[in-house]
Structure 1
Amino acid sequence: MTEKLSPKIDSKIQPNFEKIAFDLESTLNGVVTLKASTSEQAFTASVLGTERQGYGVHIIDSGLILTIGYLVAEAEQIWITTNSGQVIEGHALAYDYETGFGLVQCLGELDAPTIPLGNSNLIKANDDVIVAGAGGKATAITAKIAARAEFAGYWEYVIENAIFSAPSHPNWGGAALLNNAGEVCGIGSLFVNKIESDAMQREGNMIVPVELLDERLQELKLYGQTLSSPRPWLGMFASQIDQDFEIVGLYNNGPAALGGLETGDVILEINNIKSHSLANFFRNIWNIGPAGCEVPMKIMRNGSVSETTILSVDRRDLWKKPQFH
Structure 2
Amino acid sequence: MGHALYCAGISNWSAQALSEPRPWNLNLGRHPGPDEVSFDLERTLSSVVALQSHVPDDAFTAPILGTEREGQGVVISEDGLVLTIGYLVTEAEDIWLIDNHGRAHAAHVVGYDQETGFGLVQALDILNLPTMPLGDSDTISTGDSLIVAGQGGREAAINTQVISVREFAGSWEYMIDRAIFTVPAHPRWSGAAVIDQAGQLAGIGSLYIQQAAGDDDEIDGNMIVPIDLLKPIL
TM-score with structure 1 length normalisation? 0.64
Once residues 186 and 215 of structure 2 are traced to their aligned partners in structure 1, the CA distance between those partners, rounded to angstroms, is 17
1:5-20 pair list within 5 angstroms: 7-10=24-27, 13-20=30-37
**Identity level (%):** 47
Indicate conservation of the 8 Å contact 1:82/1:111, yes or no.
Answer: no
Deviation per CA, 1:78-128: give whole Å up to 9, x if none. 011011221110001100001000000000101321000001111111001
1:1-325 pair list within 5 angstroms: 1-4=7-10, 7-10=24-27, 13-197=30-214, 202-217=219-234
How many Å apart are 1:200 and its aligned residue? Answer: 6.6
Once residues 64 and 50 of structure 1 are traced to their aligned partners in structure 2, the CA distance between those partners, rounded to angstroms, is 23
Once residues 213 and 127 of structure 2 are traced to their aligned partners in structure 1, the CA distance between those partners, rounded to angstroms, is 40
How many Å apart are 1:212 and its aligned residue? Answer: 0.7
Indicate conservation of the 8 Å contact 2:24/2:155, yes or no.
Answer: no
Q: Structure 2 unaligned runs (5+)?
A: 1-6, 12-22
Once residues 215 and 152 of structure 2 are traced to their aligned partners in structure 1, the CA distance between those partners, rounded to angstroms, is 30
Once residues 147 and 2 of structure 1 are traced to their aligned partners in structure 2, the CA distance between those partners, rounded to angstroms, is 22
Q: 1:13 aligns to what SS in structure 2? A: coil
Once residues 44 and 75 of structure 1 are traced to their aligned partners in structure 2, the CA distance between those partners, rounded to angstroms, is 10
How many Å apart are 1:8 and its aligned residue? Answer: 2.2
Deviation per CA, 1:292-311: give whole Å up to 9, x if none. xxxxxxxxxxxxxxxxxxxx
Once residues 116 and 29 of structure 2 are traced to their aligned partners in structure 1, the CA distance between those partners, rounded to angstroms, is 33
Q: 1:182 aligns to what SS in structure 2? A: coil
Change in CA separation of 1:199 and 1:125 when aligned onto 2, cut-off 3 Å: farther
Q: Structure 1 unaligned runs (5+)?
A: 218-325
In the alignment of these two chains, the number of paired residues is 217
Deviation per CA, 1:26-61: give whole Å up to 9, x if none. 100000000000111111111111000000000011
Indicate conservation of the 8 Å contact 2:47/2:129, yes or no.
Answer: yes
Name the aligned partner's letter for residue 8 of structure 2. T
Rg bigger for which structure? Answer: 1
How many Å apart are 1:198 and its aligned residue? Answer: 6.3
Indicate conservation of the 8 Å contact 2:142/2:163, yes or no.
Answer: yes
Indicate conservation of the 8 Å contact 1:56/1:67, yes or no.
Answer: yes
Once residues 76 and 199 of structure 1 are traced to their aligned partners in structure 2, the CA distance between those partners, rounded to angstroms, is 40
How many Å apart are 1:154 and its aligned residue? Answer: 1.5
